[in-house]
Amino acid sequence: MNLPVLSIIGLGKLGSPMVAAYASKGYKVIGVDINGDFVESINKAKPPVFEPKLGEYLLSYKERISATQDYREAILNSDITFIIVPTPSQEDGNFSTQYVVKAGEEIGKCLKEKNEFHVVVLVSTVTPGSTEKDLLPALEGYSGKKCGVDFGLCYNPEFIALGNVIEDLLNPDFVLIGESESRSGDILEAFYKNICPEGTPIKRMNITNAEITKIALNTYVTTKISYANMIAELCEKIPGGNVDIVTDALGCDKRIGHKYLKGATGYGGPCFPRDNRALIYTARNYKVILPIAEATDEINRMQPDRIAKKILDVLPPQGKVCILGLSYKPDTNVIEESQGIKLAKKLEEKDISVTVYDPAAMNNARQLLRKANFANSLQEALTDSDVIVVVTPWPEFKEIDPDWLKADSTIIDCWRMLDPQRFNKRSKYLAIGVYHE
C-alpha cells in the first residue's frame, strides 16, 4: 500500500513530535517552519524543542524525515498537510488566527499549482467558527480553487500532554475529525487507522462541532481540577480532613474517575487556562453565560494567592523562600501559566527573598523572574531556605535529603509527594489539602 506523504506546518512543541511519531509509522514526512534553526535541527535528527523520546525518534526514523522553510517544496510533494502554528490568546479570551491565515495563504499559493486533491488539516486550537471563517477563505482565495472539489479541509485537534506527546499521538483516547465533506474525512480517517491501535474511536462531525468539542473537553478537565482544589481547601479547614482520602473514594465512582482529581496546585500550560477562557468568550459572543466555566477559571486564579498566604503565615521575619518547580508540569520545560512562576512573582512583589529550582525550565524562567535567585542544584536551592514549597511534582524532588534542610524550616508539599515522617524531626511538614492543627 502506498502511504500518502505528509507535510507538517510548524515544528514547535507539537509539530516536531508529530513529524517523529508519524514517521515511526512508515510515513514520509516533510516539516515546514519559518525558523531556520528548527528546520536545521530536524534535518540533523536533533530535537528543536524539549520533549522526551523526540531525539530518539528523530534519529531512528530520519530516512523518512526532512524539513524546509519552503512551503512550495513541501506542499507540491505531499498529499496531506497538517497546520500546527500558534494561535495566541487575546485579551478577551479569543484566539488570534493570524498565523493560521498566513499559513493558509502560503498553502493556497501552492495548491494553485496542484492538480491532485490535497487535504489541508488544521490542528491548532481555534474558537468555534474560525476554521471556515478565517482559514477557508485564505485557501480558496489564494489557490483559486474550491474546497470539497479541488482540495479538502478538516479540523483535527490533538489531545496530548507535553512530556508524553509521542505516546499520546500514537495511542489517543479517540480521534476528533471535523470535515468539510466526506471525501476529506475518509482520507483522514484512513490515515488514523494506520496510526492508532485497532478500535480507537474516530469521531467525525462538521467542523463547527469539532471546534466546540475541543475547547469543551479541555474545559471539562479544568473543571475537575478546580473541583478537586476546592475540596482540598475545605479539607484543610475541617479537623481530620484529607483530600487524598476523599478524592480516592470519589474516583472509584465510574461516573467520576480518578484522573485529574488530585487537589493540589492550579492548572497551567499552553492549553487548559486559555481553552477555558475561550469557551467563556465564545459563549458570551453568542449571549450565553457559562457559570461553571467562569467559576472554574476563578478558582484557578485564586490558587497562587492561597499558597502565598500559607507561606506568609509560617515565614519568619526576613525569611527566605524556596520554590521547587517552575515548569507547569513535570517532563517539560514549558512555563506558560506556570503556578511556580505565578507564586514566585507574588512573593517578589512583597520583596521576599525567593530561590527557585527546576530540572528543565530554569532558562525559560529567567525571562520572567528578575529578582529570584536561580539555584544550580536541588541541594543548593534548599540551603538556608526557611520555607520550601514543592509546586511541580518532579520525581527528582522525592530525593530531598532532610539533612539538606535548614533546622526549623517548613515544607509546604502541594502534591503530598514527600514522606512526612522523614522530615518532621528537622522541619515542619505541611501538606496542601490536609488539616493541620
pTM of the model: 0.94
Q: State the cell numbers at 109.
A: 499559493
In the block, residue with C-alpha cell 463547527: 208
Among the candidates 149, 168, 200, a domain finishes at 200
Do 189 and 321 lie in a common domain? no
Chain segment 2-42, per-residue pLDDT in tens: 899 999 999 999 999 999 999 999 999 999 999 999 999 99
Question: Cell 511541580 maps to which residue?
Answer: 392
Please check whether residue 103 lies inside any domain of the structure: yes
Domain count, the chain: 2
Give the SS3 label for residue 10. Answer: coil
Same structural domain for residues 163 and 294?
no
The whole-number pLDDT of residue 426 equals 84
What average pLDDT is seen over the chain?
A: 97
**Of 137, 65, 69, 70, whose CA–CA distance to 100 is shortest?**
137
pLDDT score at 412:
98
pLDDT at 1 over 70: no
* Residue 224, φ and ψ in degrees, nearest 5: -65, -40
Q: Residue 84's domain spans which residues? A: 6-200
Whether 154 is catalytic: no
Residue 405 resides in a domain: yes
pLDDT level of residue 88 (50, 70, 90 thresholds) = very high
- pLDDT reading at 237 higher than 80: yes
E strands in 144-285: 151-155, 175-179, 202-206
Q: Inform me whether the pLDDT recorded for 229 exceeds 80.
A: yes
Same-domain status, 143 and 291: no
215 has a pLDDT exceeding 90: yes
Could you tell me if 190 and 277 lie in one domain? no
Q: What is the pLDDT of residue 437?
A: 82
Q: Do 193 and 279 reside in the same domain of the chain?
A: no
What CATH number corresponds to the domain at position 356? Answer: 3.40.50.720
Domain final position from 200, 217, 232:
200
Residues 58 and 175 grouped into a single domain: yes
| 17 and 163 inside one domain | yes
Long-range CB contact pairs, 332-336, < 8 A, 24+: 332/50, 332/51, 332/162, 332/163, 332/360, 332/361, 333/50, 333/360, 333/361, 333/363, 333/364, 334/13, 334/162, 334/269, 334/270, 334/361, 334/364, 335/361, 335/364, 335/365, 335/368, 336/268, 336/269, 336/270
Question: Are 183 and 320 contained in the same domain?
Answer: no
Final residue before a domain boundary, out of 143, 174, 200: 200
Residue 121 main-chain phi, psi, to 5 deg: -125, 115
The order of strands in the sheet holding 80-83 is 65-68, 29-32, 6-9, 80-83, 118-122, 151-155, 175-179, 202-206
With pLDDT > 70 as the criterion, what percentage of the chain qualifies?
100
Distance CA 327, CA 339 (A): 8
Q: Which amino acid is at 328?
A: Y
Nearest to 275 by CA among 99, 173, 131, 124: 124
Evaluate whether residue 150 is within a structural domain: yes
Nearest alpha-carbon partner for 416 in 379, 386, 390, 382 = 390
The answer to the question of residue 256 being in a domain is no
Q: What is the pLDDT of residues 167-189, one digit of tens each?
A: 999 999 999 999 999 999 999 99
- For residues 270 and 437, the model is more confident at 270
Does residue 97 form part of some domain?
Answer: yes
Q: How many CB atoms lie within 10 A of CB 42?
A: 28
Reported as a single tens digit per residue, the pLDDT across 110-147 is: 999 999 999 999 999 999 999 999 999 999 999 999 99
Catalytic option among 196, 271, 322, 414: 271
- 179: cell is 470535515
Same domain, yes or no: 277 and 196:
no
- What pairing do the DSSP bridges indicate for beta strands 29-32 and 6-9? parallel
* Chain segment 311-326, per-residue pLDDT in tens: 999 999 999 999 999 9
Cα separation, 170 vs 167, whole angstroms: 5
**Mean per-residue pLDDT for 271-278?**
96
Q: How many CB atoms lie within 10 A of CB 45?
A: 17
DSSP conformation letters of 218-253 = HHHHHHHHHHHHHHHHHHHHSTT-BHHHHHHHHHTS
